[in-house]
Each structure stands twice: as C-alpha cells, then as structure tokens.
Amino acid sequence: MTLSQSRITRFLKSVHPYDALPDPVMNDLAQEIQVLEIEESSAVYAHGQELPGVYIIYEGQVEITDENGAVVSHLGLRNSFGERGLLKGGIACTNARADTPTVLFVVPTGMFQSLIQEHDVVSRFFDRKRASRTGPQSLATTAIDVLMAAAPATCDASMPVQKAAQIMRDKRISSLCVTEHDSLVGIATLRDISSKFVANAMPDTTTISKIMTPDPITLSPSDIGSDVLHVMMERGIGHIPICEGGHLIGIVTQTDLTHYQAVNSAEMVRRIARAQSAEEMALVTADIPQLLVQLVAGGNRHEIVTRLITDIADTATRRLLTLAEHKLGSPPAPYLWLACGSQGRQEQTGVSDQDNCLMLDDSVTDADMPYFQELARFVSNGLNTCGYFYCPGDMMATNPRWCQPVQVWRDYFRGWIAKPNPEAQMLASVMFDLRPIGGQFELFEDLQAHTLGAANANSIFVAHMISNSLKHTPPLGLLRGFATVRSGEHRNTLDLKHNGVVPVVDLARIYSLQGQLSEANTRARLKAAESTGVLSPSGARDLLDAYDLIAEARLEHQVRLVKSGEKPDNYLPPPDLSDFERSHLRDAFVVVKTMQSAVGHGKGMLS
C-alpha cells in the first residue's frame, strides 16, 4: 500500500504521543515511517527476533502472544506494540500475528530512540513506570477540588429569608449560594441573617436578595489551599464558592479547612484507640473516604495509602478486642486474632469487608468456647458497625470453623496441603495471607513456618495452587486491548480488583510459597522473591511496575467517585481513561498476563 506523507501525518496526529510533537519533527517522522502490509494469520515477528522499530496499527488487528504461545492481548487501530523489546535491547519479548489483513506503520529504531531522548512527551508515554510522587502535601498546597464540598445548597433570589434559614438549619449548613439560571449571583450566610435580618428587625417578607452578598469572590477548582486561606484572611470571610466555566460546582468553608486538617490517619488512630463503643469508632471510620482522597491527592504512593488505611482497621480491631474483654472478663485461655484478605496484606482501600479468624491456645476446653464465640461476635459486629461489612463467604471468627485451637489449625493446613481439592486451594489461598492483629502472636509463629515448609515440599500442592492462581486473568480483549465485565450492574467496566490487582496478589502468593517467605503484603512478597532468587530482577521490576500502575489506577478511580459524592468501588469505565492512561494500563495487564504464563509453564523466574 502506498500512502502519501500527508496521509501518514494526518494519522499520526490522531495517535498519542506523536500528536504532541512539533510540526517539523512530525514531518521528519512521517518521512521515516515504513508501511507494511501483513496477510491474515501471518506473523509480524517472533519472540527473540530483532525488531526493526515500533509498530503502529493503521488497519486491521494483531494478536500478541508470549513466548509460550499464550494470548496476552488483541490490538486494534492506533495501538502500538514492540516498544518494550526496543527499550530492553532491541529483541522482541513477545510474538505478534495478524488476525486480519493488516497495515502497519513502523517507526524505525533510530527514529524511535531519538524521539525518546529528545522529547519528554514521548519518553513519558513509553516509560511504563508509575509517575513520580511529589510527597505529602500540606493544606496550603492541596488543590481546592479536594477541599471543597461538591454540589452546595442553593436557592433563588426571591426565597424568603425565613425559608432560607430553615433550609440551613435542616441541612446543618452555614450558607446558601444564590443562583439564577445556573449562574452564581450571591451568597447568604447565617452571619448575614443574624446581623442584617434579625438585628435590623426586617419584615418576614424580606427575600434573600436583600441580605445576600452579591457577586461574591470565587475561586476555581485549579486553585490551591493557600488561595483560600489568603482570601479568607484578607477579606474576613468564611465561605468561598468555587466556580468553573461560570457554573457553581462547590464551596469551601472554614469548617471544611478545619475538617481537612483534622482528618489524618494518626488522629483517627488516636480517636479510635480511646473510643468507648463501636458507634463512637464509626464516627471516625466514616472519614476514611475523605482520608483516601487526601492521601492520594497529597502524592502518596499506593502502598503508603493502603497501609495507613489498614492501620485504622487494625486499631479498631484491637480496640474492640479490649472492649470485649472489659465486657466478658479475662479470656480463659490465650488467643490470637488474625486478619486475612486485604487487611491481612495491609492493602485496604475505600472498599473493605472483613476476613478474620481466631487461633486459641491448645489448653482451651469445650467449656471455654462460648467465651470466644461471644468475643468473636462482639468484634465482628463492631467492625460491621464501623463500615467493615460482614464477609459474604463467612470467612470470619464468628464461624466456628475459624475459631479453633492451634492444633486444629495445624490439621487444617495439613489436610489442605495433602488433598488440594478446589475448596482446599481456595481456603489455603486465603489463609496464606494471615497476619496477627491482637493477642498472643507466638501462637502463629511456629505454625506459619511449619506450614510454609510443608507446602513448599509438596510439588502437587504447589502445582494446584499455581493453577488456582491463574483463574483471575487481566482484562485483555479486543476493544482497545480491554475485556470489560459482560453483564450485570457493572457491565462494560474494568474490574480493577478481581482482574486488576488480584492476579498480581495471586502471583506474589505463589512466589511466597515457593520461597517460604513470611511476608503477607504483595509488594513485600515481590521484593522478597527477588532478593531470594525466586523471581529474577527483570521479572520483579516489570511486575512491580505493572502492579503499581494498576493499584494506583484503582485508587484514583475510587477518589474520583468519592469527590463526586458516590461510594468508592472497583469498577472503572474505560471511557474515563485518556489514551495515555489506557495505553499504560493495557501494557501493565500484558506484563501480568506474561508473568502468569511463565508461572503456568513452570518458569517462576524470568530473565
């Protein structure tokens, strides 16, 4: 196929990051582009082959498989491939085959390397590592859209002052924004009502327009906290409407600033540790979504955010154990409360249920069991009150199966390892993430070491665990490289939990099992797997980068929901992603799929 340079240029201007290149560079690139026509089912390149450059799909579809022949992605119009091999030395890391008659543009190696070195927009795009974080921010440097209350209460100018006062009372707010045809025309505060309406004994028929401040000073969501502070101090006001494009979108008050400063993990831990009831703790944990917003907006890395949020759950659990002992009396035997799931791995986000169990000293008797059953109910009910809802699978200490002496737990693990049926695989996966929270920690230490050793020594069990770990697959499909949820409430979204972070969590657990590693946290497991030789440095680096990108995309999605007044979840609509984000997320999924294939073929280490 012969294409004119102008046609090539028009196409490149529709593909990021090339669309951001200066015109002279774009013209040079268009001249360098090689056009290839590939017949249906024909190979583009094979694993280990030297690459001529980076490929861009102009027409058709391409299937990408790993060195073992497992499909990792289907790519379509404007998708790029081959760049990972170029960045690693010029050798193809995967196989590529045309699904249909396909036309490809090839950016030659020399041109690609020049673009990477000389143009930040290109180097940033093809740098698959997560963006650098700037570190924690203060109130003064925090963006207003984090500080503001969205969808402020409004009224029109003709509303009687008395009615406006009733609205403020019922909504427990201190101001009303006065609007006309969606435009802000004024603001009225409780101070205006007391100092103007009440103090001047104005008639009952007085409208809000008579006491409001007309055309109030506003700020935009792109401003920062210091702008709010300076305006409030200079003007002596306590309410600032936030407008964008002439439309009211939020408001910042002195109360919002105070609340922001009060919402931090250390203060929340302090309040929970002194709480006298689950209801009192729930007043604190209700601020976790706002804490999530602040931590992410403050530039904190995902493993820091999830660790701080998990610390709150740990503190609530320990406090509930203390309150339970105050109510029930001293325990009749030593015990240990353990968490599994995301709390066990210290990876809780804005959405968390509870997964926990009790290990009891072998001296416990049947007569002692009612005490521990009541303790489990007290703590589990308290956690539910705090927003950590009951586990749908009943993996909780309230289930008698998961409230047992240590010897019974030894028998559990021994049985799961000896006969790894589907239930045993599922339970072992959950229980290998156990982490002590409160009680006698030594009850778990010997059990953990013994279990890891026995599991590692049983090759059949390890093989079954590997097979079980591959059931959650990254969402790679035909639509721009993504396979979305097919039906139900979350149709056409990406499940960033089960198809995003869970595949990496499962891989890290397998590496932990192979290396008899005691860590429960996913990132810690991957690093330990590298340091002990279970995972090669390049494999660890790729998987860590992919995990970081997916985990941070999940948190940023939850933050967007919280800021819009919705409950956080794990279901990301692909249209919410920019082309830049879509490309990076797809590549992260490809890395995970490739690592799954390597483990599935008995290659735990990648070179």
Counting the structural domains of the chain, the total is 4
**For residue 416, is it within any domain?**
yes
Q: DSSP alpha helices (H): ranges in 206-362?
A: 225-235, 254-262, 265-273, 278-285, 288-297, 302-328, 341-344
What does the alpha-carbon distance between residue 373 and residue 333 come to, in Å, rounded to a whole number? 13
In a domain, 41, yes or no: yes
Pair 88, 195 in one domain: no
411/304 same-domain check = yes
CA 593 to chain centre: 19
Distance between CA atoms of residues 272 and 141, nearest Å: 28
Predicted local confidence at residue 501, as pLDDT:
96
- Shared domain check, 443 and 331: yes
Q: Do 236 and 217 belong to one domain?
A: yes
Cα angle: 333, vertex 336, 338; to 5 degrees: 155
Can you state the angle between helices 23-32 and 5-12, rounded to 10 degrees? 120
What's the rounded Cα separation, in Å, for the pair 396 and 412? 16
Please check whether residue 464 lies inside any domain of the structure.
no
Percent of the chain with pLDDT over 90: 55
Per-residue confidence at 605, pLDDT binned at 50, 70, 90? very low
For 97-148, write each residue's pLDDT tens digit: 998 999 999 999 999 999 988 988 888 777 765 544 545 556 777 788 888 8
If asked whether residues 445 and 484 sit together in one domain, one would say no
User: Is residue 359 located within the same domain as residue 451?
Assistant: yes
CA distance 449 to 533: 19
The CATH number assigned to the domain holding 111 equals 2.60.120.10
Q: Which of 200, 222, 254 is the last residue of a domain?
A: 254
Burial-class residue 39 by CB neighbours within 10 Å (0-12, 13-18, 19+).
exposed
Mean pLDDT along residues 352-381 = 96
Residues 6+ apart with CB under 8 A from 236: none
Q: How many CA atoms does the CB half-sphere of 386 hold within 13 Å?
A: 28
**93 domain-assigned:** yes
Q: How many helices (H) and strands (E) does the chain have?
A: 24, 21
User: Could you tell me which residues are beta bridge partners of residue 106?
Assistant: 34, 55
Confidence of residue 167 (pLDDT cuts 50, 70, 90): very high
- Short-list 433, 471, 461, CA closest to 596: 471
Q: Could you tell me the pTM of the whole model? A: 0.74
Last residue of a domain, one of 254, 276, 306: 254
pLDDT category, 559, cuts 50, 70, 90? very high
In this structure, the number of other CB atoms found within 10 A of the CB of residue 327 comes to 10
Residue 423 in any domain: the answer is yes
Domain that holds residue 99: 5-126
Q: Residue 463 domain-assigned?
A: no
Regarding whether 333 and 395 lie in a shared domain, the answer is yes
| Residue of higher predicted confidence among 445 and 604 | 445
The H or E element that residue 490 is part of is none
In terms of pLDDT, which residue wins out, 234 or 418? 418
Higher pLDDT: 579 or 457? It is 457
Do 16 and 118 fall within a single domain? yes
SS3 144: helix
CATH of the domain at 158: 3.10.580.10
In a domain, 132, yes or no: no
Q: Is 240 a residue whose pLDDT tops 90?
A: yes
Is the pLDDT assigned to residue 67 strictly greater than 80?
no
Q: Quick check: 195 pLDDT over 50?
A: yes
Q: How far is CA 115 from CA 4, 110, 122, 585, in A?
A: 22, 9, 6, 22
In a domain, 465, yes or no: no
For residue 134, count other CB atoms closer than 10 A to its CB: 10
Residues 188 and 230 both lie in one domain: yes
Q: Are residues 9 and 116 both part of a single domain?
A: yes
420, 464 Cβ separation under 8 angstroms: yes
- 425 DSSP assignment: H
Q: For the chain, give the mean pLDDT.
A: 89
* pLDDT above 50 (res 607): no
Whether residue 283 sits in one domain with residue 320: yes
Nearest to 577 by CA among 594, 601, 552, 595: 552
Three-state secondary structure call for residue 188? strand
Contact 60, 35 (CB under 8 A): no
Domain ends where: 126, 159, 179? 126
Q: What six digits make up the tokens of 184?
A: 């802000």
Q: Coil, strand or helix: which one is 318?
A: helix
* Domain CATH for 377: 3.30.460.10
> Are 249 and 284 in a shared domain?
no
Which CATH number does the domain housing residue 567 bear?
Answer: 1.20.120
